């Protein structure tokens, strides 16, 4: 009798994630992703990169791209990633990402990519005018992850579908090339109250770098006055805060602000309601603003300090790239052999 279940991945646990250098980082990026990176680095070997190759799926000014990479790196460091503990690097410094992505382009099916909602959102009505890179974006993301045989990927809720695709690609590669257990089927780590922070202008839309209104988001580099003002102007409803989470249903803006408070304070949303039940936003918003300034103020200041010394950031990225390549090269050498390439 043959065993139907493929051999599981038997390698070590590894964390990997990345952020695109395409604009100012905001509270959603911080709570959905960056906070988790800093926490996980002490539990599992952690690889965090800046996705400059993903960034050019939509045109970026070549004169600014390196500066944008340094900014994201500064944000990683300012939110607690330690370059001696975690491996921090730029995606384009490790050419194996795109080499593996080509192999995965030949593994992934067009039908799988056709279902990706992020492509549909970004391409909009004129999808025939979007770049081929934007369409293949999730395949490069799968290569980013599997090149390091990563098992855990901390991301916001919006990336869940890309992680499912990554698992599908890993499974099909292992199966089609007769390499059971070669790639792991990685898990998305999306838990926590910050997994989906909503816009301050519309509780039904995600807080996003690409929202044209700067008042929709709090940027990590906003000063105290700007943070307070954005929270004061955030859309809300006229009712006081309720005593139970159920009563927040149908009040997306109130639900979001309670969630933001909870995530920033490291408390459960119910604990926030226990404290503020019966109070209106006239009381709640100033308290939230104080908390946001207390948490984000030092991060913005640290980013500015780090960016004043770009040579130090470049040194950290060079060191990280060397460490990342030391892991990426053997994986890619194995993949070439498995696929039967001439250069293996």
Residue 108 binds ligand TRP (CB under 6 A): no
Exposed / middle / buried, residue 210 (Cβ in 10 Å: 0-12, 13-18, 19+): exposed
3-state helix, strand, coil in the chain (%, to 5): 55, 5, 35
Q: Least Å distance between CB 283 and ligand ADP?
A: 25
Contact 203, 256 (CB under 8 A): yes
- Interior angle at CA 87, CA 85 and CA 92, nearest 5: 165
Residue 321 binds ligand TRP (CB under 6 A): no
Site pattern 162..181 for ligand TRP (x: CB under 6 A): x-------------------
Residue 141 binds ligand ADP (CB under 6 A): no
- C-beta closer to ligand TRP: residue 138 or 193: 138
Q: Least Å distance between CB 17 and ligand TRP?
A: 4
Q: Which of 79, 141, 190, 256 is close enough to bind ligand TRP by CB under 6 A?
A: 141
Residue 53 binds ligand TRP (CB under 6 A): no
Specify the length of the chain in residues: 344
- Interior angle at CA 279, CA 277 and CA 282, nearest 5: 145
| C-alpha dist (Å) from residue 304 to 69, 78, 222, 293 | 14, 9, 11, 16
Q: Which of 19, 248, 306, 307 is close enough to bind ligand ADP by CB under 6 A?
A: 19
Q: Least Å distance between CB 290 and ligand TRP?
A: 29
The stretch among 109-117, 193-201, 316-324, 329-337 that binds ligand ADP (CB under 6 A) is 193-201
Q: Is 122 a catalytic residue?
A: yes
Q: What does the alpha-carbon distance between residue 306 and residue 219 come to, in Å, rounded to a whole number?
A: 17
Q: Is 66 a catalytic residue?
A: no
Q: Is 337 a catalytic residue?
A: no
Q: Which of 207, 293, 316, 328 is close enough to bind ligand ADP by CB under 6 A?
A: 207
Exposed / middle / buried, residue 326 (Cβ in 10 Å: 0-12, 13-18, 19+): exposed
Summarize as ranges the residues that interact with ligand ADP (CB under 6 A): 19-20, 28-29, 31-33, 155-156, 158-159, 194-197, 206-210
């Amino acid at each position: 009798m043959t065993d139907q279940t493929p051999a599981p991945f038997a390698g070590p646990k590894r964390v990997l994630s990345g952020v695109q250098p395409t604009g100012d980082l905001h509270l959603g990026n911080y709570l959905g992703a960056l906070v988790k990176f800093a926490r996980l680095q002490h539990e599992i070997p952690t690889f965090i990169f800046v996705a400059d190759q993903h960034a050019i799926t939509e045109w970026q000014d070549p004169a600014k791209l390196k500066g944008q990479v340094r900014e994201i790196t500064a944000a990683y460091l300012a939110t607690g990633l330690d370059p001696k503990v975690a491996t921090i690097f730029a995606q384009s410094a490790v050419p194996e990402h795109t080499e593996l992505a080509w192999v995965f382009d030949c593994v992934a099916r067009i039908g799988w990519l056709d279902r990706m909602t992020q492509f549909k959102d970004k391409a909009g009505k004129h999808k025939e005018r979007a770049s081929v890179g934007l369409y293949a974006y999730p395949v490069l993301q799968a290569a980013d992850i599997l090149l390091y045989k990563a098992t855990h990927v901390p991301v916001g809720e919006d990336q869940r579908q890309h992680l499912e695709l990554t698992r599908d690609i890993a499974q099909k590669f292992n199966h089609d090339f007769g390499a059971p257990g070669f790639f792991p089927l990685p898990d998305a780590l999306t838990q926590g109250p910050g997994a989906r922070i909503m816009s301050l202008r519309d509780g039904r839309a995600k807080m996003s770098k690409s929202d044209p209104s700067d008042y929709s988001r709090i940027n990590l580099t906003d000063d105290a006055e700007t943070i307070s003002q954005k929270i004061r102007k955030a859309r809300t409803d006229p009712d006081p805060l309720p005593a139970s989470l159920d009563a927040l249903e149908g009040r997306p803006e109130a639900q979001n602000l309670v969630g933001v408070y909870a995530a920033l304070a490291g408390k459960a949303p119910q604990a926030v309601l226990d404290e503020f039940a019966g109070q209106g936003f006239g009381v709640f918003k100033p308290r939230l603003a104080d908390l946001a300034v207390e948490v984000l103020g030092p991060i913005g200041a640290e980013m500015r300090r780090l960016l004043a010394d770009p040579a130090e950031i470049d040194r950290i990225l060079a060191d990280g790239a060397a460490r990342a390549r030391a892991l990426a090269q053997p994986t890619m050498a194995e993949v070439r052999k498995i696929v039967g390439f001439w250069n293996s």
